[in-house]
Chain A
Amino acid sequence: MEENQTWKTVIDPKKRRININFKEIWEYRDLIVLFVKRDFVSKYKQTVLGPAWAVIQPLLTTVVFSIIFGSLAGLTTVDVVGQNLMMPAFLFYMIGTVTWSYFNSTVSATSNTFIANRGIMGKVYYPRIVTPISTALSNLISWGIQIAMFCVIALVFSLLGIAEIHLSAYIFMLPLLVIQLIMLSTGIGIIISSLTTKYRDLAMLVGFGLHLWQYLTPIPYGLAMIPEKYMWLYMLNPVTPIVTTMRYAFFGSGYFDLGYYCLSVCVTLVVFFVGLCMFNKIEKTFMDTV
């Protein structure tokens, strides 16, 4: 008899149906903002240097990379064989480190979304996807600070005559690259988080896997190190074109191959949507298994 009554929300077991409620996510935008703020503020509270740590950390990594891979191991810092850039290795390592640290921290943080937040998620409902989104965004703030620092250092270097900065037209691709980086790292993170609600094994591998992945990406060395015949295999790594294009954008010359770039974009899109679907399916019942 009440069948004519309209309900605002109906909860029933939806079997194998993917429905991502974008409207609802939009309604919770304030929560995203507050989560980002919380992550950022709480990270640097009670530290003397505060957000300066966002700059100091990659700076130290860059110094270590310059010494170990640059000076001691003497690995090449160009992406194309024979290329000669008027560019200190320091800047080369820096942009790689900054980009990788975004990827690294986003994947590792989003990959335990469910496990780390099961306390709060077991008590209150909010769209679960809000958590990985805000993680990706708060890491983006750190990334922004680090890129700004990179620009400052590059500018100082060029004023001192140590480096010649030629921005290339690829600089306009920067927003695209950033979006791709966000989607790729979040996608991988939420796939892992969905898989680890039942089996924790994968979570053990994340740290090690990311470490290994870094060496399969031209971060501590230039792409020129890779022999041409293995290039197709090497380029299956979707992070590589992002990194090399980023360097091309800032350094004025470098490596860009449209085919490999498109492959990387495709992989990113597939990973992201597979991740969304898995997340969507898991989020409804993960409390029973986590």
Chain B
Amino acid sequence: MEDLMLKIENVTKEYRLGAIGGTTLRDELQRLRAKRKNEEDPTRKIGQKQVNIGERFMALDGVSFEVKRGEAVGIIGHNGAGKSTLLKLITRITEPTSGRICLNGRIASMLEVGTGFHGELTGRENVYLNGAILGMTKKEIDAKMEDIIEFSEVRQFIDTPVKRYSSGMYVKLAFSVAAHLDSEIMIMDEVLAVGDMAFQTKCLKKMREAATEEGRTVLYVSHNMNTIRTLCDRCIVMDHGKVIFDGDVDKAINIYMGNKMNESTFRDYESYKRPGFLKNPSIKVLEAEFLNKEVPYFEVTEPITLRLKWKCLQSVENAGLRIEIWNSHRVAQATYILYEFYSGKQGEVSEAVFKLDASMLMDAEYTGYYTFFNKDDVGNNHDLDCVPGLHFQKMTTKADQKWVWRPQVWGYIQLPTPEIIDMR
């Protein structure tokens, strides 16, 4: 089963900046005349930088890869990396500027489910219509009708116009049609971000089966790393129109996440503007650094070594330090607290290295938040200085660990393994 299903050879797609769209024939003629007379573009707005006619934007820049039968390939990348453009070329919605795309088989594209659904038609009529748009013949749809209705879970409403459907029912039906298409290559763009949890799981399972049992090829674009992990056995990372990685899923995800994350292990707070609620800052954090680290990736069991340097603006006594750990959505997950560990005189510069046991923090991306505080006579906490901390990523690379931590579902912290005191 080594035969190639899809081969992309050095494909580029070029867009002209600003020149297409939002223009009328008159503008274009004026521009042409000015160009011949060597004047400047009369349609250009005053103060706007002259857009060079030759200025081009490469949405895809020399992309090449091959996909074999039965492979499930994930494509990830930031917005604007060229993922959707690539899919548009493969599904023949638009043409490449240069290069060649070879396909061996029919394509079912699910760039957006429910395209071509017509509100006035019933569910059943729409299944026929949508199936035909995706390239099925009426006979094929007839044969699959029962499966489609069964899978969609909307049997009760199948003869009701889809304009009366809830959005969930709509999407379920649309996905079912696409999933039952007899195509050798399936292309999906974020379609699984729909429906309820149970339906999503069902869809992923169906896709997985399609690849492993029916030998179909799946190309899947998503920003949801968990579905990529579940579905794909190979992953391509794109950035600025180029393929920057092609291979193992976990490595690809790390590269993608790393790309997005601020990768520095050092930060200088000299000129960082403090929030307004710090009325009387008596401490100023100067630097933070992860020691002995090139990139801020930590094994789950690896302790984090953090160096902080600060200056005493006014004399303080018994100041404490809080290191809050936030997830990538800026929600606090856990906090380290060091009570009353520091007293200093005005103008003193101190430095300390902290060893943080982070074994409970599971695979995910985090940001720290460092706060110096002390207590006043009444016992209230006062923040002396606070700065956003360094980004870091926890990950598991141990080969024997088969399962993947799912922070969205299980949370970010793994509590100590329960002790069994009695079992019968």
Contact = CB atoms under 8 A, between A and B. Distances in A.
User: Chain B interface: which size bin?
Assistant: 35 or more
Interface in A1-37: 2, 5, 7-14, 27-28, 30-31, 33-35, 37
B132 A28 contact: yes
Contacts of B93: 121-125, 287
B120 A120 contact: no
A28 B134 CA distance: 10
B97 A284 contact: no
B351 to A, nearest CB: 57
A124 B24 contact: no
B281 interface: no
Interface in A211-225: none
Looking at B21, B103, B109, B132, the one whose CB has the most chain A CB atoms below 10 A away is: B132
A259 B51 CA distance: 54
B238 interface: no
A198 B24 CA distance: 8
Interface stretch (B111-119, B292-300, B353-361, B383-391): B111-119
Interface in B88-125: 88-107, 109, 111-112, 115-116, 118, 120-121, 125
B132 A34 contact: yes
B120 A288 contact: no
Given A10-B100, A31-B133, A124-B111, A41 B25 contact: no
A9 B102 contact: yes
B96 A125 contact: no
A45 B120 contact: yes
A37 B109 CA distance: 24
B4 A2 contact: yes
Interface in B24-51: 24-25
A30 B132 contact: yes
Contacts of B89: 11
A137 B20 CA distance: 34
B94 A2 contact: no
B4 A13 contact: no
Contact of A289 (B7, B21, B125, B133): B21
A199 interface: yes
Interface in A87-135: 119-126
Interface residues of A, number: 40
Contacts of B125: 37-38, 41
Nearest to B109: A124
Interface in B314-340: none
Contacts, number: 115
Contacts of B91: 124-125
A175 to B, nearest CB: 27
Looking at B94, B97, B106, the one whose CB has the most chain A CB atoms below 10 A away is: B94
Looking at B103, B116, B135, the one whose CB has the most chain A CB atoms below 10 A away is: B116
A126 B89 CA distance: 13
B105 A287 contact: no
Nearest to A284: B95
A122 B111 CA distance: 9
A123 B25 contact: no
A12 B95 CA distance: 7
Nearest to B140: A30
A34 B117 CA distance: 12
Looking at B3, B95, B96, B103, the one whose CB has the most chain A CB atoms below 10 A away is: B95
B24 A199 contact: yes
A201 interface: yes
A121 B7 CA distance: 24
B104 A288 contact: no
Interface string B278-318: 00000000000000000000000000000000000000000
Contacts of A28: 132, 135
Given A38-B129, A42-B121, A119 B115 contact: yes
B15 A288 contact: yes
A70 to B, nearest CB: 38
A123 B112 contact: yes
B264 interface: no
A285 interface: yes
A119 B112 CA distance: 10
A288 B94 contact: yes
B94 A7 contact: no
A289 B120 contact: no
Contact of B96 (A13, A119, A121): A13
Given A9-B103, A124-B115, A124-B134, A42 B120 contact: yes
Interface string A30-59: 110111011001100110000000000000
Contacts of B103: 7-11
A286 B138 CA distance: 29
B418 to A, nearest CB: 50
Interface string B73-96: 000000000000000111111111
B128 interface: yes
A148 B134 CA distance: 36
A28 B88 CA distance: 20
Contacts of A287: 88, 93-94
B137 interface: yes
Contact of B95 (A2, A122, A201, A285): A285
B7 A42 contact: no
Given A2-B4, A10-B101, A199-B24, A126 B94 contact: no
Interface of A: 2, 5, 7-14, 27-28, 30-31, 33-35, 37-38, 41-42, 45-46, 119-126, 198-199, 201, 284-289
7 contacts: A7-B103, A11-B90, A35-B129, A37-B125, A122-B93, A124-B115, A125-B107
Interface of B: 3-4, 7, 15, 20-21, 24-25, 88-107, 109, 111-112, 115-116, 118, 120-121, 125, 128-129, 132-138, 161
The 5 A-B pairs of least Cβ separation, nearest first, read A31-B132, A125-B92, A7-B102, A11-B101, A42-B120
Given A8-B103, A42-B118, A125-B93, 15 more contacts: A7-B104, A8-B106, A10-B100, A11-B89, A11-B92, A27-B137, A30-B137, A34-B128, A35-B129, A123-B93, A124-B133, A126-B135, A199-B24, A201-B25, A285-B94
